[in-house]
Amino acid sequence: MKIAVFSSKRYNRIFLSQINEAKHEIMFFEEALKAQTAKLAQGFDAVCIFVNDTVCAETIACLKSEKVGCIALRCAGFNNVDLKAAEAANISVFRVPRYSPHAVAEHTAALLLAVNRKIHRAHSRVREGNFSIDGLLGFDLHGKTIGLIGSGAIGTAMARIALGFGMRVLMHDPYPSAECQSLDVNWVGIPDLILQADIISLHCPLLPSTHHIIDDSLIEQMKTGVIIINTSRGASIDTKALIRGLKARKIGAVGLDVYEEEENLFFEDRSDQIIDDEVFSRLLTFPNVLITSHQAFFTEEALERIASVTLANLEAWKNGDPLENAVNSI
């Protein structure tokens, strides 16, 4: 089978090549897959993509005309694929669910600990010989209330971490996961979660129903000083509303691993460029905002699993076996 891997980085080459053992012909492209680059898929049976490739109807039409039969997502989220267009074009789509919920939950905890105890600022101070701790005051997580939106694999792993810290966990999910229901958490609606939580963390997929789930009106109802963490998808938060909440001193701190317009920024070294995105640049000016570049998934265990499940998905598709990780339009 011939596989075109888009948005590929050194680490994708290493992990996919190791597991493939030269069985399939894999070509690695640094380009993101979008309508303008879909021609590169000419002669390939399958394309393998990541979070910021744009598989819209136009891209799908190009893939169809190049006789590409499947789209293998090497991630869990699939909001960047027009599933209806893929189905109409008879192109299979599959993903890698639950490749390492611990990787993402642990990064969520890292962001929370860092913004609460101001580790990013402390690090800069000490490096510059400034050993003052004034302004670095945090609060105990023990005894505080965390509100988790989404009780899937990552939300459940995060709930376990939060319980380990001695926190009270509020959970919201229209379809509560069985695994999470066995934990000592309180199931609440969004209004109660927003009113009661000292910390709010997002673990739901990006869907029309979760687009800008955190907006001006919810921020207004939050506790003053609330910490907001987002490791799910950028567009779950209205970033301009977040900035308004920060400026109003309503929000105490923010930790983000994802950003609405990240496809034009993240995963590349842009240190010698001027950033044109005014919203992102404004976010960077707040001392109480910490942003990482979509790296929550980035552990050895996760990369190994992503590579092995992606190749197993492709193999199953090629052999006509049942596709357990297929993503279908609803």
Residues designated as active site: 233, 262, 294
Q: Which of 3, 55, 76, 290 contacts ligand NAD by CB under 6 A?
A: 76
Q: Which of 104, 218, 289, 291 contacts ligand NAD by CB under 6 A?
A: 104
Residues 65 and 58: beta-carbon distance below 8 Å:
no
Examine residue 67 and tell whether it contacts ligand NAD (CB under 6 A): no
- Pick between residue 86 and residue 103 the one whose CB is nearest to ligand NAD: 103
Examine residue 204 and tell whether it contacts ligand NAD (CB under 6 A): yes
Examine residue 296 and tell whether it contacts ligand NAD (CB under 6 A): yes
Q: What is the rounded distance in angstroms from the CA atom of residue 291 to the CA atom of residue 293? A: 7
The Cβ-side half-sphere exposure at 104, using a 13 Å CA radius, reads: 30
Q: Which of 175, 224, 272, 278 contacts ligand NAD by CB under 6 A?
A: 175
Task: Report the nearest approach of ligand NAD to the CB of residue 266 (Å).
Answer: 10
Task: Report the nearest approach of ligand NAD to the CB of residue 290 (Å).
Answer: 14
Q: What is the rounded distance in angstroms from the CA atom of residue 212 to the CA atom of residue 197? A: 18
Examine residue 260 and tell whether it contacts ligand NAD (CB under 6 A): no
Q: What is the rounded distance in angstroms from the CA atom of residue 79 to the CA atom of residue 53? A: 10
Residues 111 and 257: beta-carbon distance below 8 Å:
yes
Q: Which of 45, 53, 82, 173 contacts ligand NAD by CB under 6 A?
A: 173
Examine residue 95 and tell whether it contacts ligand NAD (CB under 6 A): no
Q: What is the rounded distance in angstroms from the CA atom of residue 64 to the CA atom of residue 78? A: 19
Spatial CB neighbours of 105, under 8 Å, sequence gap ≥ 6: 154, 157, 158, 160, 161
Examine residue 297 and tell whether it contacts ligand NAD (CB under 6 A): yes
Q: Which of 231, 239, 313, 325 contacts ligand NAD by CB under 6 A?
A: 231
Residues in the interface with ligand NAD (CB under 6 A) total 32
Residues in the chain: 330
8-state DSSP, 264: G
Residue with tokens 């357990």: 324
Spatial CB neighbours of 139, under 8 Å, sequence gap ≥ 6: 116, 198
The dihedral over CA atoms of 259, 265, 270, 273, expressed in degrees to the nearest 10, equals -100
Amino acid identity for residue 272 in this structure: D
Amino acid identity for residue 251 in this structure: I
Q: Which of 85, 109, 111, 153 contacts ligand NAD by CB under 6 A?
A: 153
Q: Which of 101, 147, 234, 245 contacts ligand NAD by CB under 6 A?
A: 101
- Segment near ligand NAD (CB under 6 A); pick from 5-13, 119-127, 130-138, 198-206: 198-206
- Pick between residue 76 and residue 243 the one whose CB is nearest to ligand NAD: 76
Task: Report the nearest approach of ligand NAD to the CB of residue 249 (Å).
Answer: 27
Binding site for ligand NAD (CB under 6 A): 76-77, 98, 101, 104, 149-155, 172-175, 177, 203-207, 209-210, 231-233, 257-258, 294, 296-297
